[in-house]
Structure 1
Amino acid sequence: MTTTNGQATGGRPATPSEPRPATPSEFAAGVPGNAAPPPVPRDSPGRGVVEFDLPGVLVGTAEYAEGPTGCTVVHVPAGARTAVDIRGGAVGLSGGYEFNHAVCLAGGSVYGLAAAAGVSAELLARRDNRTRWDELQTVSGAVIYDFSCRDNAVHPDAALGAAALRAAREGAFPVGRCGAGRSATAGKIDFSRAEFTGQGAAFRAFGEAGVLVATVTNPIGVVVDRDGTVVRGNYHAAEGVRRHPSADYTAMIGATDADTGAGPGAVTGNTTLTVLVTNVRLTDRELGQLGRQVHSSMHRGIQPFHTEMDGDVLFAMTTDQVDLAGVRPSGLGALASEVAWDAILNSAE
């Protein structure tokens, strides 16, 4: 179920302004957002929320409007067994633990990993700084590269991660251009054809079993609907159409940039981050296979996916609250894969 806290805009979103990477000299000159005073953590509500029914699971977002960039925290106070599936050639990951009290997704590339440290520090403070073995709070983090559409070095840090955790609420996942998806883009076969995406989520209950999938889509590939239509990315403005990347790659084979007008080629720094949370009791092996199955299925909604220029990560988490009845874990994976596709499409609305 999706509820909104404002009117969603229709039609094709504007492509990022000045779609070019900032140069080191611009950073040295102190472009807006790099100078004092430091950025201020702010709420990051997006265009609405996806409601979910998984007791004990909280979600919070925060952003730096000066970027813009942000982070998203999935918090399970009781902790959750976790399997991490890593794909692609440009992964930014911290922790990667098999048991987590929180997962922090953030923009800012490698610098954004500091947000997860802020979540960890906030959880430590909530435990009155107790550090006995059974008091330790584990936090894993992953990042997207979101500097492509902005000329500043503002990135999620410890303060922003702590702010996102403090904003965490049960039962509602903010979606749209918010949190870690604040400056996410898709279809970067050439950045002049990229389009904004964001973070999306979907939830479905199958009897007592619940599955929440949330994803931050920032791929080199395009977002594809179930009928095969490209719904976000690789927009050719002159023709007013979106193309599947295979059409552009076919034209580029054996040709020079001058021949194809393709410019410098695909933009580096792409990643899709996904969190799957279920309440179903699974063995460690079954949980790991669930993560792999769902992550593999997501290529249907993102094409191409898991390239050498993407750093895709999926966290599969379980709160171990109900037994799976009627189907095997592979059947749950098939159902969860459809939820994941819904989340992808939700990120591109």
Structure 2
Amino acid sequence: MTTEPRLAQPSAFAPGVPRNADLPLTPQPSPGRGSVAFDLPGVHVGTAEYAEGPTGCTVLHIPAGARTAVDARGGAVGMSGGYDFNHAICLAGGSVYGLAAAAGVSDELLARRNNQTKWDELQLVSGAVIYDFSARDTAVYPDGELGRAALRNAVEGEFPVGRCGAGRTASAGKVEFGRAEFAGQGAAFATFGEARVLVATVVNAVGAVIDRQGQVVRGNYHAEEGTRRHPSADYARSISEGAIGDPAPAVMGNTTLTVMVTNVKLTDIELLQVGRQVHSSMHRGIQPFHTLTDGDVLFAMTTDEVDLVGVKPTGLGTLASEVAWDAILSAVQ
């Protein structure tokens, strides 16, 4: 995979930049460069963005609900809900302020249920956010109205990819921010007999993105040389030159958000372990991963439709891990 440089300019973090209340914001479609088709009946995906940010959100809606296991890692997790059963997952930019988008999704689902609030009518929504202020000079964030818009835009069987939705201003490869490149959100889908697996991810990582040949394909771009380096080379150099100059400070505010959906029946423990297995495997495509300044979260979901045959859950996790790597690469094309 060949990728032209897509450098992300660091924010000046100037005071007084516009926030939501300062602008006449209108949710816009966020189609990205295209979409990945998937065959999981009852799973809908929608995106929306504020071009004034730019920032956005991505909603995965399963009206019938799905059992969910959450694997949260890294030192800077931003998440709401975290339920073991969800009707929707909302991924958003805007860091902690972007959690408002998930509240908007919840409000829209309440309206769709005709404001029914009986215990068994409650619509459960979990949310997670990336910090995308580092590559833009506004304080605009995904709010409740944007979350509602993304849900209204949701369609079955298509996952928008590229610089869209929650990945609108995501970036990767931030050994130093001057070497960061814009990333995005990606998705991949595969079938294995009757088993189906969708993995979608928003890559906003400290780490650079690595392909299956071991080459850095996005992030840590050295413009003066016109090349990308594996971050380990720069960290090693910083240590060896420590007596001359201190290493660059850690770039704060990073996160990779992932949703894995399968139709395979798994116990709660199996679902959690498969999710952990897939999340761990993603270090092959993002290096380094799960760092002190990342807030990585994976939601593993099952619609409980088919029995797993031919392999144990470990085998399913192995196959899903390859799908996850494809999703990572999809995010940065």
Query: What TM-score results when the alignment is normalised by the length of structure 1?
Result: 0.93
Q: Which runs of 5+ in 1 are unaligned?
A: 1-9
User: What is the SS of the residue equivalent to 1:160?
Assistant: helix
Separation in structure 1 between the aligned mates of residue 139 and residue 197 of structure 2, nearest angstrom: 36
Residue-by-residue CA offset, 1:243-271 (whole Å, 9 max, x unaligned): 001000001115459637x6x43310000
Instruction: Check whether the contact 1:33–1:39 (CA below 8 A) recurs between aligned residues.
Output: no
Residue-by-residue CA offset, 1:296-333 (whole Å, 9 max, x unaligned): 00000000000000000000000011111111111000
The one-letter code sitting in structure 1 at the alignment partner of 2:269 is R
Instruction: Check whether the contact 1:144–1:269 (CA below 8 A) recurs between aligned residues.
Output: yes
Task: State how many pairs are aligned.
Answer: 333
Task: Note closer, same or farther for the CA distance 1:257–1:140 as it changes in structure 2 (3 Å cut).
Answer: farther
Q: 2:38 aligns with which of 27, 52, 77?
A: 52
| Structure 1 segment 98-117 matched on structure 2, within 5 A | 98-117=84-103
Aligned to 1:27: 15
Task: Note closer, same or farther for the CA distance 1:35–1:95 as it changes in structure 2 (3 Å cut).
Answer: closer
Q: 2:298 aligns with which of 294, 314, 322?
A: 314
Separation in structure 1 between the aligned mates of residue 12 and residue 258 of structure 2, nearest angstrom: 26
User: What is the SS of the residue equivalent to 2:39?
Assistant: coil
Instruction: Check whether the contact 2:18–2:140 (CA below 8 A) recurs between aligned residues.
Output: no
Q: 1:340 aligns with which of 324, 327, 331?
A: 324
RMSD after superposition? 1.6
Instruction: Check whether the contact 2:19–2:141 (CA below 8 A) recurs between aligned residues.
Output: no
Residue-by-residue CA offset, 1:40-84 (whole Å, 9 max, x unaligned): 101000000000000000000000000000000000000000000
Instruction: Check whether the contact 2:185–2:331 (CA below 8 A) recurs between aligned residues.
Output: yes
Task: Note closer, same or farther for the CA distance 1:330–1:242 as it changes in structure 2 (3 Å cut).
Answer: same
Separation in structure 1 between the aligned mates of residue 78 and residue 182 of structure 2, nearest angstrom: 21
Aligned to 1:156: 142
Separation in structure 2 between the aligned mates of residue 322 and residue 121 of structure 1, nearest angstrom: 32
Separation in structure 1 between the aligned mates of residue 234 and residue 3 of structure 2, nearest angstrom: 23
User: What is the SS of the residue equivalent to 2:114?
Assistant: coil
Q: Which runs of 5+ in 2 are unaligned?
A: none
Identity %: 73
TM-aligned CA deviation for residue 13 of structure 1: 3.8
> Does residue 294 in structure 1 map to residue 263 in structure 2?
no
Aligned to 2:211: 225
Q: 2:48 aligns with which of 43, 62, 79?
A: 62
Any runs of at least 4 consecutive aligned residues in structure 1 with deviations exceeding 2 A, and if so which? 31-38, 254-260
TM-aligned CA deviation for residue 142 of structure 1: 0.2
| Structure 1 segment 1-349 matched on structure 2, within 5 A | 11-17=3-9, 19-22=10-13, 26-28=14-16, 31-32=17-18, 36-253=22-239, 255-256=241-242, 259=245, 264-349=248-333
User: What is the SS of the residue equivalent to 2:22?
Assistant: coil
The one-letter code sitting in structure 2 at the alignment partner of 1:286 is E
User: What is the SS of the residue equivalent to 2:91?
Assistant: strand
TM-aligned CA deviation for residue 32 of structure 1: 4.8
The one-letter code sitting in structure 2 at the alignment partner of 1:341 is W
Residue-by-residue CA offset, 1:215-235 (whole Å, 9 max, x unaligned): 000000000001100000000
User: What is the SS of the residue equivalent to 1:239?
Assistant: coil
Separation in structure 1 between the aligned mates of residue 273 and residue 107 of structure 2, nearest angstrom: 31
Separation in structure 1 between the aligned mates of residue 79 and residue 117 of structure 2, nearest angstrom: 24
Separation in structure 1 between the aligned mates of residue 134 and residue 12 of structure 2, nearest angstrom: 5
User: What is the SS of the residue equivalent to 1:27?
Assistant: coil
